[in-house]
Chain A
Amino acid sequence: MKISRRCFGKTLLFSGAALTAACLPSWLPAAETDKSLVAQAVSPQLKRINHDIPKQSAQEYLNRSMLIITGKNNVTAAWRSLFAPAENVGIKVSCLPGRPLSSSLGLVTAIVDGLLAAGLAKKNIIIWERTSRELEKAGFQISRNGLKIMGSDELPGGGYSDHIEFSGSMGTFFSRIMENIDALINVPVLKDHDLAGLSGAMKNMYGAIYNPNKFHANHCDPFVAELCNHSLIKGKLRLVVCDASRVQVHNGPAFYPSYAREYGGLLVSRDPVAIDFAGLGIINSLRREMGLPTLADAGREPAYIQTAARLGLGQAVERLIRKVSI
């Protein structure tokens, strides 16, 4: 029996994982609930202390969110409804601005605990970003064995696939990590973005391609949506956990304390478009509080959110998104 190149790569990345399991067709979740349901928490307990959400708080609110979006009545079942024990799961964090505005370690640890509770082995989980350097700057400790924490750049060929992928007007190479995982958990940080308008779930996936610098024209529209419409992302994305504990309201994506707000928020959904739409509402509301124009009034409306909705990636209309506050 021949082993495909993709299958071989998967084995290489997740060495020790059962070959048979790794080569099975992607296992699809069977959650019965509305995909565009967004669990939204705002709590002082979710505010960062020394740049991190306390792990216990993160876990509590994440688990409650998981129960809501999956409709299950216990946490293990909730995680199991989205992830199978034999799967390789990638957790895409957001680390560009360094520790003050990266995906909180406490939150990421809570996600890993959820996966472990679902029966996944540590060795089948990878926390990743573009580079290990960015992960380290965000406070993650690089690990190449067991639970892996590493940048795409650690993999052969600079970390990117050697075959080009197309999506709409885009042509790009994906991170080999994206190619070799079965399921993706996207953990963006909610922030303003000078060019895109908003950086949330979908924009975070620019970290999965080798040439994001080529796709910032026209406020990243339609590029962000086209990228997320690629099967490697669309077909693998199972969960979005948006860290809104500290929100960069203006002058992002870098961290500027004067424009950052300790919002204490967490948004969880299976719909990346709905999460970004909800995130846009939060950013605009915080901007108004700070006396800043909305992103639309500032000429930086993230039109890619509506483009993504038109592509069928999720909902970007208030009445079609069911928000549940925690």
Chain B
Amino acid sequence: MKPFAHSLKNNFSRRAFLKTAGKTALAAPLLLGIPRTVAAAFVPKASEAMYYEKLAEKKIKCRLCPHECQVADLERGSCGVRENRGGTYYTLVYGQPCAVHIDPIEKKPLFHYHPGSQAYSLATAGCNFSCRFCQNWEISQRRPEQVQAITLWPEEVIRQARNQNCPIIAHTYSEPVIFFEYMRACAALGKEKGIPNVMISNGFIQKKPLQELCRLLGAVKIDLKAFTEIFYQEQCGGRLKPVLDSLLTLRSENIWFEIVVLLIPGLNDSRQEIERMCRWIGRELGPEVPLHFSRYSPTFMMKNIPPTPAETLHMARKIAQSAGIKFCYVGNLLSAAGDTYCPSCGKVLIHRLLYSIEKPGLNGNRCKFCQTVIPGVFT
């Protein structure tokens, strides 16, 4: 195949573009033929949750995420998908995805993990955060009975992924941590059948369940929402420290992971904050962790702030590069800063346009030009 002339979007091949668009359009038909559960009649199925502790008087304490919700009988945790029924904690979303699509792995984004692959992507309702800028709020901020769901057991997920020629299964869109049991089952089965699972997460999870996932998953992407506690508290209903702890756990568990930072004007895009973040990443996680700066668009509860200017994204990328981070990207923006460059010779290894890729400089996991080993999982 003729290599791309990188950075010139008009030179991107029409065939490559249509191929991607066509595959992405497969998403909707996936739901056809599978019985949907209509919200009004939906009674969530329940299976016992993992990682919780029984307390006196039929209360429970959830140990899955750092919220550590103490939940009385008949109540639910903050995620809205785990319910105490008589002192036993249940997940209401096991095998009940409300979103099933086929996406390029670049959309997650995971740029160093089987680039160019299609990921069979699924999500259930619910999230343990309440980000005011959530792009997927229509499922993440709803409870199981408020969405249309289908029944899709892990065996069927594997079968469907295989039938759709997807070598990867992605748990994504909402927050996979809150459907931990379902993701865990899919990941265990996928590992056995040779279809790795990836988690696209906010990283707000306790250490033990994360360690368990690390043994089953192929890769993880973490949304690092900001580098201040106040942002996490006011904009997300969460906390920064546990997310940083999760990143350290991923590092120590030696699983492939990438980080995405959505830059929102005036809230988390100051030079000082980005510098502190990049220094921490370089020092604690190492310079080879890919770092993506994504463009925010107004949505959900945050419609009063304009989209992130391109200059801000490029500034952040430069700061990251100055901090020694080798693979820095700009996302949600057509730009040459979405390409992968060899950190040694500077040549283009992977060229991306939208979610299509070409690999003009990559040979296996090495730079074709200078033989530098590129970190990640390449096929």
A-side residues, CB < 8 A to B, are: 96-97, 131, 133, 153-155, 158-160, 164, 166, 171, 193-195, 210-211, 213-214, 216-217, 251-254, 256
Contact = CB atoms under 8 A, between A and B. Distances in A.
B78 A171 contact: no
State the main secondary structure of chain B at its contact with A: loop
Contact of B39 (A97, A133, A153): A153
Interface string B45-83: 000000000000111000000000010111111111000
Interface stretch (B108-116, B142-150, B359-367): B142-150
B130 A214 contact: yes
Interface in B334-372: none
Contacts of B377: none
A164 B130 CA distance: 14
B40 A214 contact: no
A193 to B, nearest CB: 8
B301 A164 contact: yes
A254 B76 contact: no
Given A153-B40, A158-B39, A214 B78 contact: yes
Contacts of A171: 132, 300-301
A151 B76 CA distance: 19
Contact of B142 (A133, A154, A210): A210
A252 B130 contact: no
A160 B141 CA distance: 12
12 contacts: A153-B39, A158-B147, A159-B146, A164-B300, A164-B301, A166-B301, A193-B72, A194-B75, A195-B70, A213-B79, A214-B130, A254-B75
Nearest to B132: A171
B43 interface: yes
A248 B307 CA distance: 50
B146 A254 contact: no
Contacts of A256: 57-58, 73
Contacts, number: 74
A216 B71 CA distance: 10
B40 to A, nearest CB: 5
Contacts of B146: 153, 158-160, 210
B40 A254 contact: no
A195 B57 contact: no
Nearest to B81: A213
A158 B57 contact: no
Contact of B57 (A153, A251, A253): A251
Candidate in A97, A158, A195 with the most chain B CB atoms within 10 angstroms: A158
Contact of B74 (A133, A214, A253): A253
A24 to B, nearest CB: 30
Interface residues of B, number: 28
A75 to B, nearest CB: 36
Contact of B58 (A96, A159, A254): A254
Given A131-B145, A153-B42, A195-B70, 4 more contacts: A154-B40, A195-B72, A214-B80, A253-B72
B209 interface: no
Nearest 6 CB-CB pairings of A with B: A194-B72, A254-B73, A158-B146, A213-B80, A158-B39, A171-B301
Interface in B104-151: 130, 132, 141-143, 145-147
A217 B79 CA distance: 12
A126 to B, nearest CB: 16
Contact of A213 (B42, B58, B76): B76
Interface string B299-313: 011000000000000
B237 interface: yes
B86 to A, nearest CB: 8
A25 B132 CA distance: 33
A213 B143 contact: yes
B40 A133 contact: no
A214 B75 contact: no
B59 A194 contact: yes
A291 to B, nearest CB: 15
A133 B57 CA distance: 25
B80 A211 contact: yes
Contacts of B78: 213-214, 216-217
A272 B335 CA distance: 56
Candidate in A195, A214, A251 with the most chain B CB atoms within 10 angstroms: A214
A131 B41 CA distance: 10
A158 B145 contact: yes
A213 B146 CA distance: 13
A131 B146 CA distance: 10
Contacts of A211: 80, 130, 141-143
Nearest to B142: A210
A214 B301 contact: no
B147 A254 contact: no
A78 B50 CA distance: 54
B300 to A, nearest CB: 7
A176 to B, nearest CB: 12
Nearest to A250: B57
Contacts of A155: 40
Contacts of B58: 251, 254, 256
A133 B41 CA distance: 9
A217 B73 CA distance: 17
